[in-house]
Amino acid sequence: MIILGIETSCDETAISIIKAKGDLNSLEFEVLGSSINSQIKIHSEFGGVVPNLAKREHKKNLPIVLEDALKKAENELQIANCKLWEKEKPKIDLIFVTVGPGLEPALWTGIEFAKELGEKWHIPVIGTNHMEGHIASVLFKNNELEDKKLQVKTQFGFPSLALLISGGHTEIILLKDWKNKEKIGETKDDAVGEAFDKVARMLKLPYPGGPEISRLAEEARNKNIQLDTKFPRPMIHSHDFNFSFSGLKTAVLYYLKNLKNNTINQENVFSDFEKLAIAREFEDAVVETLLTKTRKAILEYLPKNLIIGGGVIANKTLREKFLMLNKEFNDLNILIPEKSLATDNATMIAAAGYIDYLNGVKNLELKAQGNLEI
Ligand code: KG4
Ligand code: ZN
């Protein structure tokens, strides 16, 4: 089956065409063509994503991104000219589009575009949950470049746990099988990616802050630069699987305020040295918190797989530390997505769609659902 996925929940306009085969016990995917347009540069001026700007950009870019994805997949799709998609139906069986969670004006652009395509090509359009996409992102492995064609066959055992860490979410999901999922923990306030972005803003770093903090933290480690204070590791001793990141963010804010009060030169409130040290300590606090909570959940639920999805798992230190959990839990299969599939993309949406399809489809309404839950 050939599936086209569409993703416009935030600031990436993405379309991907995949070939999906197999049943729920042996999923097999091949990326035929994938294209992403990132709006990061446009939003970074405003320090965060502006929903109506995102909407305008998605509208403008969707046809361009579609054409690009079709071009990459043109041999498989048996189309003579990818520019003629309005007239000529490519060999695509189903369209899956993100309906939530995300920014509603942005989600609507993808949904409307998907509906139009479905009508033109006379094929069904089905809604997909973005977070299920982040779970499915780990099913593509050994994929250095998203453009590269790849074939993956995954044997998957249950129960599995999924830690989802993105700009809008921090949650742990228990997968009893591909259909039965239960949220066992979530953040009580800020999402972890949001904390990265907010702390980056305090340090006057551009949006999105995750990659910036990550870069500075690495530099600090290389130069052996360390902060004289330890930031809190929120809720690591609580007996549940919940998180909280706003206290950590506030601890950074107070640290900076304190620095400012003690600095004679009020203009240049913190030096590069301090920036590096703060970034490193903040990242360490996040890593330790996520690892501690995940460990607790592993001991409780004894999963066969640990899935980690969402933009924050693009973080180098986190990737290394999570992979090291294998030393503690020998039988645990740790699945993390390739970096290009960690942040938002449409390949994961198409894959999640295929799983829904095999499950008999939940029939998500084709309507933007900003707060859609798993
Ligand atoms: O999954 P994603 O692309 O979008 C949402 O669904 O939210 O995640 C975006 C988040 C942003 O908060 C961004 O700062 C964070 O992922 N992020 C990172 C890194 N790369 C992206 N956080 C830490 N380290 C990174 N290298
Ligand atoms: Zn996401």
Q: What is the mean pLDDT of each run of 10 residues along the chain (374 residues)?
A: 98 97 90 95 90 96 97 87 82 97 98 97 96 95 52 75 97 96 98 97 93 97 96 96 97 90 64 94 98 98 97 97 95 92 97 95 85 95
Cα of 101 from ligand 2 centre, angstroms: 9
Cα of 342 from ligand 2 centre, angstroms: 8
pLDDT of residue 332: 93
Q: Indicate which ligand has the atom closest to the C-alpha of 170.
A: 1
Q: Which atom of ligand 1 is nearest to the CA of 310?
A: 1
Is residue 306 within 8 Å of residue 157, measured between CB atoms? Answer: no
Ligand 1 atom 13 nearest Cα: 210
Cα of 265 from ligand 2 centre, angstroms: 40
Can you give the chain as a three-state secondary structure string? CEEEEEECCCCEEEEEEEEEECCCCCEEEEEEEEEEEECHHHHHCCCCCCHHHHHHHHHHHHHHHHHHHHHHCHHHHCCCCHHHCCCCCCCCCEEEEEEECCCHHHHHHHHHHHHHHHHHHCCCEEEEEHHHHHHHHHHCCCCCCCCCCCEEEECCCCCEEEEEECCCCEEEEEECCCCCEEEEEEECCCCHHHHHHHHHHHCCCCCCHHHHHHHHHHHHHHCCCCCCCCCCCCCCCCCCCCECCHHHHHHHHHHHHHHHHCCCCCCCCCCHHHHHHHHHHHHHHHHHHHHHHHHHHHHHHCCCEEEEECHHHHCHHHHHHHHCHHHHCCCCEEECCCHHHHCCCCHHHHHHHHHHHHCCCCCECCCCCCCCCC
Q: Which atom of ligand 1 is nearest to the CA of 168?
A: 7
Ligand 1 atom 2 nearest Cα: 311
Ligand 1 atom 10 nearest Cα: 167
pLDDT of residue 145: 46
- Tell me the Ramachandran region of residue 276: left when phi exceeds 0, alpha when psi lies from -120 to 50, beta otherwise: alpha
pLDDT of residue 6: 98
Pocket probe for ligand 1: among 43, 166, 318, the residue whose CB has the most ligand atoms within 8 Å is 166
Which residues surround ligand 1 with Cβ inside 6 Å? 10, 166-168, 193, 196-197, 208-211, 214, 310-312, 314-315, 343-344
Cα of 11 from ligand 1 centre, angstroms: 11
Ligand 1 atom 1 nearest Cα: 311
Cα of 269 from ligand 1 centre, angstroms: 27
The angle that helices 272-301 and 246-261 make with each other, rounded to 10 degrees, is 160
pLDDT of residue 153: 57
Cα of 348 from ligand 2 centre, angstroms: 10
The pTM is what?
Answer: 0.95
* Residue type, position 87, single letter: K
Residues bordering ligand 2, an ion, CB closer than 5 Å: 166, 344
Cα of 207 from ligand 1 centre, angstroms: 10
Ligand 1 atom 3 nearest Cα: 343
Pocket probe for ligand 1: among 163, 165, 196, 215, the residue whose CB has the most ligand atoms within 8 Å is 196
Taking residue 254's Cβ as centre, other Cβ atoms within 10 Å add up to 11
Q: Indicate which ligand has the atom closest to the C-alpha of 208.
A: 1
Cα of 15 from ligand 2 centre, angstroms: 14
Ligand 1 atom 23 nearest Cα: 210
Cα of 311 from ligand 1 centre, angstroms: 3
Q: How many CA atoms lie within 13 A of 60 on its CB side?
A: 10
The C-alpha torsion from 24 through 25 and 28 to 34, rounded to 10°, is 40
pLDDT of residue 348: 97
Cα of 196 from ligand 1 centre, angstroms: 8
Ligand 1 atom 8 nearest Cα: 311
